[in-house]
Amino acid sequence: MTDTSTTSTTSTTPLSGGPSLPQERRLVTEIPGPRSREKFARRARHVASGVGTTLPVFVEAAGGGVLVDADGNSLIDLASGIAVASVGNAAPAVVDRVTEQLRGRVGLKEPAASG
């Protein structure tokens, strides 16, 4: 895992998570950054205060051992716990098996092709 702290601006391009997500720590804003703070303010207006959170950011992508927040910061995932600690976020074998199980039990269909 590399550490590439920087002060560059964040991208608005959506990230896709999974194994292709770069395994690096990269800070581009303070934590929480401006977009996460905006989302926390919106959440406070619409969600009961009894519903808590443990992360000071809003995660938009995850893969392997890294989370990327709404501000473009790449953070080491220390909160994944036992659920994904041994295989990482979005491990292909796990995603394939879960998808297979869902198709057999709830009639999940392939998404319609876009374009």
Per-residue pLDDT of 33-78, as tens digits, reads 999 999 989 988 998 888 777 778 888 888 878 889 999 999 888 7
63 neighbors 17 (Cβ within 8 angstroms): yes
Spatial separation of the C-alpha atoms in residues 25 and 114, rounded to whole Å: 33
Residue 64's DSSP bridge partners are 89
**Domain 2-106 homologous superfamily, CATH:** Aspartate Aminotransferase, domain 1 (3.90.1150.10)
Whether this prediction's pTM lies above 0.85 is answered by: no
Q: Which helix (H) or strand (E) holds 35?
A: helix 34-46
- List the chain domain ranges: 2-106
Phi, psi of 41 (to 5 degrees): -65, -45
Handedness of CA 15, 17, 22, 25 (dihedral sign): positive
Spatial separation of the C-alpha atoms in residues 9 and 75, rounded to whole Å: 16
Query: 6 pLDDT band (50/70/90 cuts)?
Result: very low
Query: 11 pLDDT band (50/70/90 cuts)?
Result: very low
The residue among 57, 60, 49 whose CA lies nearest residue 18 is: 60
